[in-house]
């Protein structure tokens, strides 16, 4: 039986890679450094808010990626998940990139480097990298005209099914293209970013 459902095309992949080119973040030269960094990220409130499934709240098996050309996540048929990090990709932005893939999982309804992915990845970079790295990545995304969605956060406590009493970390108003962050206002307009400075 034929189906009209087509896999989502990953049309932004090359643009995302070009935007990330040269934007490294902190070096993580040893696999132990990467493990500790990954543990810090998956234990964080922002990671667990962006990726609410407890199945991605532990660090998967990390391997050196000897012989691999790029960092990548491997989902095995038997359920094992591995992330490979060759030496050239042992930097914060690449680790966060792969953890975003891991957090989103194998969702055939979104592109691997689509707007949902880029929005979640950028939020992790904003929480775990220096202002200089954040600015450089935002400039690269603007230069390459990469589209991203600001993540919509579920503010329900999954254990009690009641609303959390604290203010959500941020809320997006699509009418004004405004992000409200804990009572403050932060306007995001990638067209206004300086492309070269």
Q: Per residue, what are the HEC states of 168-192?
A: CCCEEECCCCEEEECCEEEECCHHH
Kindly state the DSSP code that residue 27 receives in the 8-state scheme: B
Residue 111's pLDDT band, with cuts at 50, 70 and 90, is confident
Share of the chain above pLDDT 70, in %: 73
Measured from the Cβ of residue 125, the count of other Cβ atoms closer than 10 Å reads 23
With a cut of 70, say whether residue 129 has pLDDT above it.
yes
8 A C-beta contact, residue 25 and residue 93:
yes
Q: How confident is the model at residue 131, as a pLDDT?
A: 94
The residue-averaged pLDDT of 37-45 equals 96
Mean residue pLDDT of the chain comes to: 80
Q: What is the average pLDDT across 12-27?
A: 93
Burial of 110 per CB tally in 10 Å (0-12, 13-18, 19+):
middle
- Written as one string, the DSSP assignment of 49-99 is HHS--GGGSS--EEE--TT-SS-EEEE-TTS-EEEE--GGG-BHHHHHHHH
Predicted pLDDT of residue 152? 59
| pLDDT higher than 50, residue 187 | no
The torsion defined by the Cα of 18, 104, 128 and 149, in degrees rounded to 10, comes to 60
- Residue range 122-141: average pLDDT? 94
pLDDT at 175 (0 to 100): 56
Q: What values do phi and psi take at 91, rounded to 5?
A: -135, 155
Enter the pTM of the model: 0.75
Q: Which H or E run includes 157?
A: strand 156-157
Residue 59 neighbours by CB under 8 Å, 6+ apart: 35, 38, 39, 42
């Amino acid at each position: 039986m034929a189906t009209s459902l087509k896999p989502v095309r990953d049309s932004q992949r090359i643009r995302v890679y070009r935007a990330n080119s040269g934007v490294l973040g902190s070096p993580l030269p040893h696999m132990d450094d990467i493990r500790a960094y990954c543990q810090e990220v998956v234990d964080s409130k922002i990671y667990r808010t962006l990726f609410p499934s407890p199945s991605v709240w532990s660090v998967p098996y990390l391997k050196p990626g000897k012989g691999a050309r790029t960092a990548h996540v491997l989902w095995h048929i038997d359920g094992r998940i591995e992330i490979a990090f060759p030496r050239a990709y042992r930097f914060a932005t690449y680790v966060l990139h792969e953890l975003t893939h891991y957090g989103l999982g194998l969702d055939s309804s979104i592109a691997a480097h689509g707007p949902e992915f880029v929005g979640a990845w950028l939020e992790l970079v904003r929480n775990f990298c220096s202002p200089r790295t954040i600015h450089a990545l935002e400039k690269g995304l603007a230069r390459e005209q990469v589209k991203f969605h600001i993540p919509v956060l579920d503010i329900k406590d999954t254990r009690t099914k009641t609303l959390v009493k604290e203010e959500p970390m941020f809320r997006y108003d699509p009418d004004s293209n405004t992000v409200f962050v804990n009572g403050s206002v932060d306007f995001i307009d990638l067209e206004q970013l300086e492309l070269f400075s």
